[in-house]
Amino acid sequence: MTIAGFIAYAGALAIAASIPGPGITALVARALGSGFRPALFMSFGLILGDLTYLTAVVLGLAVVAQSFGLVFLVVKWAGAAYLAWLAYRFWTAGIVAETVTADAGRGGLTASFVSGVTITLGNPKTMIFYLAITPTVIDLAAVSASDYAVLAGLTALVLLVVLVPYLALAAHARTLFARPAALRLLNRTAATFLGGAAAAIAMRG
């Protein structure tokens, strides 16, 4: 691959990732509700989901991936159900003043990571980018092992550059809430974002 090809891929990915969708919506909600660290682990999960699609496309599995409609349908609804459950938890209980600055436990980080992977794998926008748009941006037949390593690194870097500002701003806003009324607003806002992400995943074909 040429440098121009790598730049074209990075640019296309940055544009696609910057368009708010279920992934960013869920990421902002997690940052608002749980803070920076759990949201960062969710972003790592989102990135792994993207790398899964990239790997499938580079290995020539685009047609195979498209044929597993039932698998992606199950992943899609599992992700939507998980986000809906999180929305319910935040709406009915959420966080209290004592836990605004509390650090998430190991289980919380794992759940954040797994939910990030699930959201990406079930997101039609991500599927379309890797299965339809990526082959028009780069010559998949000319991708070598070293080219793939560069593409994977670019994917992780571009997504971090796009996602981290979202979660950092949301996590910072979270620390500004101290009064019960403000915390209630925080919980309801996080629940609304999560519910919206769940609905977006469920309604997209």
Q: How confident is the model at residue 195 (pLDDT cuts 50, 70, 90)?
A: confident
What is the rounded radius of gyration, in angstroms, for the C-alpha atoms of the chain?
A: 18
Q: Which helix (DSSP H) or strand (DSSP E) does residue 62 occupy?
A: helix 62-67
pLDDT for position 44? 94
CA dihedral of residues 11, 158, 135, 133 (deg, nearest 10): -70
Task: Quote the domain boundaries for residue 54.
Answer: 3-203
Average pLDDT over residues 72-95: 69
Domain count of the fold of the chain: 1
Give tens-digit pLDDT for 132-172. Answer: 677 777 877 778 889 899 999 999 999 999 888 888 877 77
